[in-house]
Amino acid sequence: MANLCVNIDHIATLRQARRDTEPDPIAAAMLVEQAGAGGITVHLREDRRHIQDRDVELLRQVVRTKLNLEMAATNEMVEIACRIKPDECTLVPEKREELTTEGGLDVSAQSSRLKVTCSRLREAGITVSLFINPEAGQIAAAVEVGADFVELHTGAYAGTRNEKDNQMEFQKVVAGAKLARQKGLRTNAGHGLTYRNVRPIAGITDMEDLNIGHNIIARAALVGLDRAVRDMLELIK
Ligand code: PXP
């Protein structure tokens, strides 16, 4: 069975909207684990727009399942990761102006830099995953630079609007997972996964972690609203 890792960046986004202390991603991580998830994922961005360094440090202390740190392959981030030691680092491309991670890493285009990054992280005892589009060339390059995992980008699959395209994008993820396995890599997947589209991806042979954020936090905000309003009304009465 695939393992659910919940990306809690949006909890920090809500906190940063007021530069306040609530809601705290640490409390969210504990609830996520109590609900049965197998991992916590956070993205420490260069601009610190949501998750802060303090969050990653505290999460390292409280997370009992698996802590996956998404980050750009920069010196600053590698130093932070080697100090805090998450269980896994997922290397992602990062652009300041983007709303969320937009595409996979171009591993072949920066293979010498990624080789050094992978070996620094692995020497610190951290498992390394590369977020890539499900393409044969990127998978081969991921082997070349010494990654343990690839995280196959499911954004194109999630973004399809008809059954034919959906099947075509799904088959790319299936083929990517198969090729990764043949080449000795382990496979995670994520981006754009929802309550509607997750099942086929979860059913792919040897699929390990599914990193899901937006749709779970969006649902949490709605299913929790009724209770939150009732609690406030109770106090006002
Ligand atoms: N995987 C990676 C590498 C990501 O950058 C993100 C978004 O932060 C996710 C998974 C989760 O995507 P979503 O929020 O669409 O579930």
At 99, the pLDDT band (50, 70, 90 cuts) reads confident
b/e sequence 109-124, b meaning 16+ C-beta within 10 Å? ebeeebbebbebbeee
pLDDT at 226 over 90: yes
In angstroms, what CA-CA distances link 145 with 46, 114, 192? Answer: 23, 6, 27
Please report the pLDDT score of residue 96 as a whole number.
Answer: 64
Name the pLDDT band for 95 (thresholds 50, 70, 90).
confident
**Cα–Cα distance for residue pair 16/212, rounded to 1 Å:** 21
Test site for ligand 1: of 101, 138, 150, most ligand atoms within 8 A of the Cβ:
101
Task: Pick from 4, 7, 153 the residue to mutate for probing ligand 1's pocket: most ligand atoms within 8 Å of its CB.
Answer: 7
Q: What is the pTM of this model?
A: 0.97
- Mean pLDDT over 25-51 rounds to 98
Q: Given a cut of 90, is residue 97 above it in pLDDT? A: no
What integer best gives the mean pLDDT of the chain? 97
Between the CA of 230 and the centroid of ligand 1 the distance, in Å, is: 32
Q: Which residue's C-alpha comes closest to atom 5 of ligand 1?
A: 101
Q: State pLDDT tens for residues 68-85.
A: 999 999 999 999 999 999
Task: Look at residue 158 in the predicted model and tell me its pLDDT.
Answer: 98
| Residue recorded with tokens 């920066």 | 110
Give the atom of ligand 1 at the shortest distance from the alpha carbon of 194.
16
Judge if the upstream peptide bond of residue 23 is cis by omega within 30 degrees of 0.
Answer: yes
How many Å lie between the centroid of ligand 1 and the Cα of residue 215?
A: 10
Q: What residues are in contact with ligand 1 under a 6 Å CB criterion?
A: 7, 9, 43, 70, 90, 92, 100-101, 131, 151, 190-193, 211-215
* pLDDT tens figures, 187-218: 999 999 999 999 999 999 999 999 999 999 99
Sign, CA dihedral 12-106-192-216, equals: negative
User: Is there a contact between 129 and 188 (Cβ–Cβ < 8 Å)?
Assistant: yes
DSSP line for 143-156:
HHHT-SEEEEE-HH
What percent of the chain shows pLDDT beyond 90?
96
> Residue range 116-132: average pLDDT?
98
Ligand 1 midpoint to CA 190 (Å) = 6
Question: Rg of the chain over CA atoms, in angstroms?
Answer: 18
Task: Please name each of the domains of the chain with its CATH number.
Answer: 3-236 (3.20.20.70)
